[in-house]
Structure formats: structure tokens, C-alpha cells
Amino acid sequence: MKSNLHHILPRSGVLRSHSTYYKPQIKTFSGTPWRYIRTTGMSDKELSAIRIDRDRLWKDLHTTCEWGKGERWGENATDIGMSRLASSDADKQARDWFVKTTQDLGCDVNVDAMGNIFAVRPGMDNSAPPTYAGSHMDTQPTGGRYDGILGVHAGIEALKTMKDNDMETEYPTGVINWTNEEGARFPISMISSGVWAGAIPLEKAYNLREVGSGNATQKSELERIGYLGPLEANHKANPIAAHFELHIEQGPILEASGGKIGAVEGVQAYKWHTITVNGRDCHTGTTDFQNRSDAMLTAAKLILHSHNRASEAGCLASTGILTLKPGSTNTVPGVVQFSLDIRSKEDAALLQLEETLKSEFSKIAQGEEIGGLNARGTKGRGCTVKWQLDTDSPATTFHEDCIKCVEESVSDMLGTSEGPNVQRMTSGAGHDSVYTARRAPTSMIFVPCRDGISHNPAEYCSQEDCGNGAQVLLGAMLRYDRLRASRKT
């Protein structure tokens, strides 16, 4: 079989065999002489003895957070949020650090056409694809230091730990930094893993314009910062054997239950829409309520209604963006656009909510009484409502092999997987793992974050929880490597 690694490293110019930097050496392990540690030869107990360096992880993470610092929220040196938008100058600095650090570790590092960076530490058999840890280093405009960043750093820490222990995995292992996971600057989230998975066309991703008044596109900015790579952004050309993603929970569940690790079984379904309400501009002082087509008042009703209906259905609905025209205190807005993000654990429930809202939004905008929204005010002339679907992410189910590796790794770390220490969970947020799960066995590892706060400068994950997560990530990767080898024989 031709080496897949050759496919993902076609133009690096430095295709090194693992023997270049893993000099055969004699050590003893379990009392036996050996050259390097292989997972297949290790017992569970031996595997569990391989420990990451928690201080190094913490230090490295806060070092790279110097690039793209956001708002200060507390008094400690690291009580500062992040504002590292995708393909910004700060993102380039973080990427340069990622490349240098993983190359120094002996990885082959390649960049694909979406700027995704794949750092691969060769194993014994490099004809098969790598087992990856992956996440992202871009942040929300007012984000924190852990969302995405922790997952990438934990992956690097796992590779460092393997090197420190002179381990050689059966198959290659690696770390991925996915581009623009947040969708905060170029407004489709997980867009680059989506292109890799064949779910989003490359041209669509390239042409995506930055939010706000700028003219930069995803492609022009990748080019500008030097991360428009030569590798094809495609799961066939550049396959993944498995994808593990450590991430802060971004919600309150683990903290509330005292859990240390969430073994994530899957991800909520969600859809993002842009809703446009068309009314008519008029003067606020001279136009009585009967004669108005007030797009802002209508939008307020629809936002409230989406919340009410989602509450009833056990789903979520949120509006994070709203713009209006013309935008003058004494002019009733003629046009309002707002984002509507709806989520559910089940695809069917989400579809039902969407259909209900599509039908009822128009009726409410025309003044029909639904859910109390038009019960008390004065009926105006009505507005019209248009829906545009921006993102459709069906519910995702992760791979049982990967979930089990995570659970076993927790047991390795804690000596038990009983009690509240580890619990199976569903992710409320989308992650790059949603797209990798379409093409490769995938699961995620959640660690608690304080008060469930995320997408906020004050997002916080303790050093202990960061370390726990990275330890479990390492263990899951090693166990998966051993599992792959065991199935081959």
C-alpha cells in the first residue's frame, strides 16, 4: 500500500522518515531492554503511567495567548480575554508558533488550501493515516483563552509527552489547527473542516467576505498571512484515521454535577438563519401606530416568540446579530435583519420548531394574534418576513470506539471511571469534530469551565481541568493507536 503520508506531505520538501529523528536507543521498560516504546507492547497500567506535563501545558497556552489579547476581566496576569479573529495578524503569530513548535518536535507540518495545519509525528507504519488531536486557535471577537486553544495545545502536549517518553506509536499521530472554526470573522463556522469533509465547496469558502465593512475574503486573508497552503483541502487526499478533540464544555453541566470529564457522544443539531423583516420607514412622531409597518417592533415580537416556542419544545433559540435601517432615533426602521440560531438534540424536533416558526413569524408580522404577541398593542399595517438558511448542521453521533477510548483514558487517570468523574454528554455547540465525524471515527472530551461561561473574555478553565483534559486526550490517542494495531493482527 502506498503511504498515505506521501499524499499529505507532497510539497513539504522535507519528508523525513521517522528514523531520522527517532534514533534507535536501548532503554529498559517493564524490566525488559527495548529501543522505543510501542503501544502494542504496553499494558493498561503502563499506558496509564505516561503523564503529560501540566505546568508546561499551562505555560505554553498562556504564552500563545499573548497574541490577540482582548479585554482584561480580573487581576491575575492571565485574566485577559482573547480577540484573535481568523487569519488576523495575531492568528498568524499563533500559527507560526504552532508550526515552529511541532517542527521542533520532529513533526512534518503541512498546510492545506483552507489554511488548516496538519502536524504529523510519524509512527511505525506510516502507510495509514494519522490519529489526530484537533481543534482551533482562532477566537470570537470577545472570546476567552480556552475555547479551541486548549484543544490544540493539549494535542501538542500529547506529542511532546510521547517524545519525552521515547514512544513510537504504531501509526502516525498528529495535531490539527483548523481555520476559522468560530465563523466570527468569515461568517460560517467550522468552515475549513467543512471543506475538508466535502460538506462546503471550496469556492464558497474562499469567497466568503469578512463581516463588517471590510472587503477581505477568507482566501485573500489566508494569502496575506501566508497560510494558503498547497495541500488539497479534502478528506480523500488527506485522510484522518481518528479525530479526538478536547474542549471546554462551554456550558454549566459538568460544573453543576461535579464531573471532571465529559465523554461526548454527539453534537446537537442546529440551523442558522438570517431573518429579514420588511416594513416601511416613517417618522416616529407623526405616524400613529395604525399606519406603521414597524420592522423593529415586529422583529422584537419574533425574537420573543422564537424563545417562547423553543422553550416549549425543549430546544434553544438565540439572536446574536441584529441590524436595522435607516438607523435614526426619530425614524421607524423599514428593514431589520437578525440572526436566528435554533438547536435541538434531535433533527426531527429542530425541523418541527423551524416549521412552526416559519409559519407563525409571517402571521405575527401581519398582526395575527399568536402567543400573546399581538394581544395588547395597536395593530399596524403589517410587515413581511423572509428566511435565509445560512448553516444546517444535523445532529452528530460520535464513534463508539473513540468514546470508549476516552472513558478508558479517564479510568487510567483516575483509577476509576465510576461516579460523577466521567459522564457521557451531548455537545450544545458545533465543533470541527462535527465534520471529521462524517469521514473518520471521532469523539470529544469535555472539561468544566467556570459558570459555564464561554464566548466571553472571562471564560475560564482551571489548570487542573486543563491538565485532566490533556491527560485524557493523550491516553485516548494512545489507546486508539493500540486498538488500531490490535485489529490489524
By CB under 8 A, tell whether 346 contacts a second copy: no
Please, what is the minimum distance in Å from the beta carbon of residue 460 to a second copy?
Answer: 13
Q: Is residue 272 within the footprint of a second copy (CB under 8 A)? A: yes
Nearest distance in Å: CB 47, a second copy: 31
Site string for a second copy, 158-197 (x = CB under 8 A): ------------------------xxx--x-x--------
| 9 neighbors 2 (Cβ within 8 angstroms) | no
Q: How far apart are CA 292 and CA 276, in angstroms?
A: 17
Residue 233, classified by CB atoms within 10 Å of its CB into exposed (0-12), middle (13-18) or buried (19+), is buried
Residues binding a second copy: number (CB under 8 A): 77
Does 452 sit near a second copy (CB under 8 A)? yes
Report the residue from 281, 346, 347, 401 that binds a second copy according to the rule CB under 8 A.
281
Comparison of 341 and 401: residue with beta carbon closer to a second copy: 341
CB of 321 to a second copy, least distance (A): 5
> Does residue 296 touch a second copy according to CB under 8 A?
yes
Q: Which of 23, 45, 376, 487 binds a second copy (CB under 8 A)?
A: 376
Q: How far is CA 376 from CA 50, 304, 363, 371, in A?
A: 66, 15, 16, 11
Rounded to whole angstroms, the Cα distance separating 295 from 282 reads 11
Nearer to a second copy, 207 or 291 (CB): 291
**Least distance (Å) from a second copy to the CB of residue 266?**
13
Strands 131-136 and 242-248: parallel
- Is there binding between residue 308 and a second copy (CB under 8 A)? yes
Residue 298 Cβ vs a second copy, minimum distance, rounded to whole Å? 10
Q: For the purposes of burial, counting CB atoms within 10 Å of the CB of 43, is it exposed (0-12), middle (13-18) or buried (19 or more)?
A: exposed
Applying the rule CB under 8 A, the residues between 193 and 232 that interact with a second copy are: 211
Asked if 461 interacts with a second copy (CB under 8 A), we say: no
* Residue 332 binds a second copy, judged by CB under 8 A: yes
Which lies closer to a second copy via its Cβ, residue 390 or residue 392? 390
Interface region with a second copy, contact rule CB under 8 A, candidates 6-14, 128-136, 151-159, 289-297 = 289-297
Distances (CA, A) of 204 to 14, 27, 139, 187, 207: 32, 52, 22, 11, 5
Bridge partners, residue 130, by sequence: none
By the rule CB under 8 A, 140 interacts with a second copy: yes
Q: Candidates 61-69, 93-101, 139-147, 165-173: pick the segment binding a second copy (CB under 8 A).
A: 139-147
First to last CA, the chain: 16
DSSP line for 53-99? -HHHHHHHHHHHTTTTEEEE-SSSTT-EEE---TTSHHHHHHHHHHH
For residue 249, state whether it binds a second copy (rule: CB under 8 A). Answer: yes
Other CB atoms within 10 A of residue 320 CB: 10
For residue 15, state whether it binds a second copy (rule: CB under 8 A): no
Does residue 396 bind a second copy (CB under 8 A)? Answer: no
Helix (H) or strand (E) holding 442: strand 442-447
By CB under 8 A, is residue 82 in contact with a second copy?
Answer: no
Q: Is 343 in the site for a second copy (CB under 8 A)?
A: yes
> Is residue 280 part of the contact set for a second copy (CB under 8 A)?
yes
Q: Angle CA(357)–CA(360)–CA(364) in degrees, nearest 5?
A: 130
- Which residues, numbered 411-430, are part of the site for a second copy (CB under 8 A)? 427-430
Rounded to whole angstroms, the Cα distance separating 367 from 380 reads 7
* Backbone phi, psi, residue 449, to 5°: -130, 150
Does an H or E element contain 108, and which?
A: strand 108-111
Measured CA to CA, the distance from residue 386 to residue 97 in angstroms comes to: 45
Note whether 9 binds a second copy by CB under 8 A: no
> Of the listed pieces 4-12, 13-21, 97-105, 267-275, which binds a second copy according to CB under 8 A?
267-275
Binding characters for a second copy, 311-330, by CB under 8 A (x = yes): xx---x-xxxxx-xxxxxxx
**To the nearest whole angstrom, how small is the minimum distance from the Cβ of residue 29 to a second copy?**
41
* Minimum separation from the CB atom of position 318 to a second copy (A): 4
**Set of cell numbers at residue 372:** 400573546
**70-100 CB burial, b ≥16 within 10 A, e <16:** beeeeeeeeebbbbbbbbbebbbbbbebbbe
